[in-house]
Amino acid sequence: MDAPIDPLVAAAIHDAKNALMALDTQLAAAAHHRPAAADFRTARASVSRIATQLTELLTLYRAQNGALRLAIDDHDLADFIDDLLAELGPSPAGIALAVDRSAALTLGAWAFDAYLVKLALLDALRNAQRHAATRVALALDAPPEGGIRFSIADDGPGFPETLLAGADAVTSQSGTGLGIAFARLIAARHATPNGRHGQVELANPTTGGARLTLTLP
């Protein structure tokens, strides 16, 4: 995501996002009258996906203008994973979601920007669900070199080679790469006073599928 975003485009994104929030309120009101209708849930899930992308774009814009500042504080990791899954919503038909939260309970809390990291992980999870054949796995662990590491793996066809080679923006059937550019930005902006930074790694494991890991220092 090296191409700068025009301020006019940024303003338009902002407007679109507000309009989207209004649409969501209307959908919520409509769903209130017909609680059984599944189409409203689907519609709201779409709204949420678009809103995530717009927020990612705006965040990248602010980063380019030096206006992105992370709000780091302690967050309970088990609560964080609960919130993440609640926002993700139910899995698509035929795709199972396995969550390993054992490390979250051992680690307790960690200091990070919960809002931005949640957005990055939500996007990665949705992406994995879109490409998975049968299964998506979310796990958290503490790597020996320090920090915490979220992993999202699926059993789909794996990341395209261009993406693995380090390219950010790839226009392909698999999407724009916006989510990954955003995740990289957010990870890199997480730092410690002794100079360690977070990072995102993509891999296609030999056992198949794709795996994204987001490490926070």
Partner 1 sequence: MDLHEKIGLLIDDMPEMRSSMRLQLASAGLEHCDQARSVKEAIDRLAAGRYDLIVCDYNLGQGTDGQQFLELVRRKQLLPLDTAFLMVTGETGYEQVATAAEYAPDDYLLKPFTSEQLGARLGRILNKKEALKPVYRHMGPGKDKDREKALSACDELLAQGGRYQLDVLRIKGELLLAATRLDAALALYASVLQQRSTPWAEVGRARVLAAVGDAAEAKDHLERALVAYPNYLAAYDALAHIVAKTDKVAAQALVERALKVSPSTQRNRELGTLALENRDFACAETAFRRTVEKDRSGFFKNHDDYAGLARSYTEQGKTKEALGTVKEMGVHFANTAELKARQAALECQVHAKAGNADAAKEALERALRIQQANQLDPQAALEVAQACFAGGRQDDAKQIIQAIAEDHDENAAVLSQAQAVFANAGLEDEGAMFLDATRQRMIRLNNDAVALAKSGQLEQAIAMLTEAADRLANNCQIAVNAALALLMHVHRNGPTAARLDQARRYIAQARRINPAHPKLAEVEAYYRKVAPVDAPPLEG
Residue ranges binding partner 1 (CB under 8 A): 21, 24-25, 28, 55, 69-74, 76, 78-79, 82-83, 86, 108-111, 113, 115, 191-194, 196, 217
Q: Read off the amino acid at residue 91.
A: S
Alpha-helical (H) ranges within 97-177 are: 102-107, 114-131, 161-164
Whether residue 151 contacts residue 161, with contact meaning beta carbons closer than 8 Å, is answered with: no
| Residue whose C-alpha is closest to residue 59's, from 212, 217, 202, 183 | 183
9/105 with CB nearer partner 1: 105
Nearer to partner 1, 130 or 196 (CB): 196
Q: How far is CA 108 from CA 102, 105, 115, in A?
A: 10, 5, 18
Please name every residue paired with 138 in a beta bridge, in sequence order, or none if there are none: 99, 152
Residue 111 or 164 with smaller CB distance to partner 1: 111
Tokens at 202, concatenated: 């993509």
Parallel, antiparallel, or unpaired for β 96-100 and 135-141? parallel
CA angle 162, 178, 77 (to 5 degrees): 110
Minimum CB separation of residue 106 from partner 1 in Å reads 11
Nearer to partner 1, 89 or 160 (CB): 89
Report the alpha-carbon distance of residue 136 to residue 153 in Å, rounded. Answer: 6
CB of 176 to partner 1, least distance (A): 22
Shortest distance (Å) from residue 202 CB to partner 1 = 25
Q: For partner 1, give the closer residue by CB, 146 or 208.
A: 146
What is the closest distance, in whole angstroms, from the C-beta atom of residue 10 to partner 1 in the complex? 14
Please state the closest distance from residue 118 (CB atom) to partner 1, in A: 10
